[in-house]
A and B are shown apart, each in its own frame.
Chain A
Amino acid sequence: MTAVLELRGVDAWYGNTAVLRGVTLDVQDGGMVALLGANGAGKTTTLRAICNMGVRTRGEIRLAGQRIEGQPTERIARLGVGHVPEGRGTFLGLTVDENLRLGGYLRRDRKVASDTSKMFGYFPVLRDRLFQQAGTLSGGEQQMLAIARALMSRPKLLLLDEPSFGLAPILVQEIFRILRVINQEERMAMLVVEQNARLALDLVGQVFLLETGRVVASGPPQQIAADESVRRAYLGQ
């Protein structure tokens, strides 16, 4: 099994401030990985480093074996990375339909229409609101739209930045359930950044723990959860 994503010794800066130091992590093909840590640990920065969004990096970042560090963001998207960013990044002034079409912007094949139907299968509410302005959707609906948009490009790797943020627990559970289904049905690799460690641990097969820009622990969720110090620091036990 090849790794879809490999980070080796990645350092990252905003301006002159170093935010990541020597981050090393893997996402296997079809795997689900969570990146956990406290506020400011560098989780979002890691995702932005992968997509080269406003952060300078040093070190190796590989997508399916190909080096992508320093490439323009749009090129990395073309290579097969779907990113649901912090704040969802919805095109608020455009309709749901237009948002989805933009998700499929790179697709030139004919299966786009069927993929759209598939999205409606996962997120029926999007069909109901298809021609509404995206800005009028609720938080949960926008989150679903953001995920659907990222999926429309049939990425090799899906990055999700705090998909649970600001959402009611029931909604979060539903979204996580759908993510698991997508991962199983499409065998799509996912890297999920989460503050809500408990939920993430249920979802994924591998966890990396970030603390002030460094990976301090990694392993299967059961192992991480069993670790006394981790539990105290991050799981509030």
Chain B
Amino acid sequence: MQALLHQLLSGLANGAIYASVALALVMIFKATHEVNFAQGELAMFSTYIAYTLIEAGLPYWVAFLITLIFSFVTGIGIERLLMRRIQGKSQLTAVIVFIGLLVAVNGLASSLFTSSIKPFPSPFPSQAWYGTTYLSPHEVGMIVVTLVVLGIVFAFFRFTRLGLAMRAAAENPASSRLVGIRVGWMLALGWGLASVLGAVAGMMAAPIVFLEPNMMGGVILYGFAAALLGGIDNPWGAPIGGFMVGVLENLAGAYVVGSHLKLAVALFVIVAVLVFKPSGLFGRTVVVRV
């Protein structure tokens, strides 16, 4: 029983990371109907930036904040300079461009930071008071930070003028223009926010999976699974999907397939959702259009 509880809670902690990645994916999908295959690599790159800042002597949370700003700007830059140019093109083209971005960012990280595995600090000390027998302080921290960030993002979209404009631009770009919204910049902002979410996920995950160029390779797969499970176009579904996938991964790993096949669990969820319920648990889009 204790072991089960441990797996559950630990799964929730991992799920926090997947929730962030999933929300980032859903945000970009809602706005562009594209899946950002490169989301994981961008998050990894941001984490390296944080690492560099911390190594340079900056306190953790300062580096954290600067990294978020960096990610925000980078996300906007990628949208304005690259993604805008493939707007009219086929889905095939878009997918290949995303893969190209994935590969290029991965290679860039290898070149700039070498592929040696580096430890990444956690801001949550291992003896902290909020650690329990079931969750390490870092795991508690992951959940709290994620919930705070998600909360801020949701409040932004729900209560601010800009958030409303972004939602409108994603839902109906033509009508948005008619009310004076600069749709292009809304997309860019969406990319910026998604990159911020990715960076948070990366910095939370790095203490656990260690910092190396391929660190997000598995995480992104869980992110896809979570986004699909929650409904690829439903921002509320993404965190729910994230936590569910986290728990599922742990339970399946502990009791069904063994810890070496955990990635296959993600694969299974992805294929199962796409084949049996493409709109996920809470989504609206029908994936196969006739």
Contact = CB atoms under 8 A, between A and B. Distances in A.
Instruction: Assess A/B contact in the complex (Cβ within 8 A).
Output: yes
Interface of A: 51, 53, 72-74, 77-78, 82-83, 85, 89-94, 98, 101-103, 105-106, 149-150, 153
Contact of B180 (A85, A91, A153): A153
B175 A91 contact: yes
A91 B178 contact: no
Given A94-B167, A98-B164, A105-B165, A74 B182 contact: yes
Contacts of A149: 179
A89 B178 CA distance: 9
B172 A89 contact: yes
B179 A85 contact: no
A77 B180 contact: yes
A59 B174 CA distance: 23
B55 interface: no
Interface of B: 161, 164-165, 167-168, 171-172, 174-183
A168 to B, nearest CB: 25
23 contacts: A51-B178, A53-B177, A72-B182, A74-B180, A74-B181, A77-B177, A77-B178, A78-B180, A82-B178, A85-B174, A89-B178, A91-B175, A92-B172, A94-B167, A94-B171, A98-B164, A98-B168, A101-B161, A102-B179, A105-B180, A105-B181, A150-B178, A153-B180
Contacts of A93: 171
Given A74-B180, A77-B180, A105-B161, A90 B171 contact: no
A218 B164 CA distance: 42
A149 B180 CA distance: 12
A106 B180 contact: yes
A106 B177 contact: no
User: Which of B167, B175, B178, B183 counts the most A-chain CB atoms under 10 A from its CB?
Assistant: B178
B168 A91 contact: yes
Contacts, number: 64
Give 9 nearest A-B pairs by CB, closest first. A89-B175, A73-B177, A77-B180, A106-B180, A74-B177, A83-B178, A78-B180, A105-B179, A102-B179
Contacts of B183: 74
Nearest to A85: B178
B155 to A, nearest CB: 15
A96 to B, nearest CB: 13
Nearest to A88: B175
A150 B176 CA distance: 11
Contacts of B182: 72, 74
Given A74-B182, A91-B171, A91-B172, A102 B177 contact: no
Given A91-B168, A94-B168, A98-B164, A153 B179 contact: yes
Contacts of B176: 74, 102
A90 B175 contact: yes
B216 to A, nearest CB: 31
A117 B96 CA distance: 50
Contacts of A73: 177-178
Given A98-B168, A150-B178, 5 more contacts: A51-B178, A85-B175, A92-B172, A94-B167, A98-B167
Contacts of A103: 179
A210 to B, nearest CB: 22
Contacts of B180: 74, 77-78, 105-106, 153
Contacts of B178: 51, 73, 77, 82-83, 85, 89, 150
Nearest to B185: A74
Nearest to A152: B179
A201 to B, nearest CB: 27
Contacts of B167: 94, 98
Contacts of A102: 164-165, 168, 176, 179, 181
A231 B27 CA distance: 53
B174 A53 contact: yes
User: Which of A53, A73, A94 counts the most B-chain CB atoms under 10 A from its CB?
Assistant: A73
A120 B182 CA distance: 28
Nearest to A80: B180
Contacts of A85: 174-175, 178
User: Which of A74, A78, A92, A153 counts the most B-chain CB atoms under 10 A from its CB?
Assistant: A74
Contacts of A91: 168, 171-172, 175
Contacts of B181: 74, 102, 105
Contacts of B168: 91, 94, 98, 102
A77 B179 CA distance: 6
A106 B179 contact: yes
Contacts of A74: 176-177, 180-183
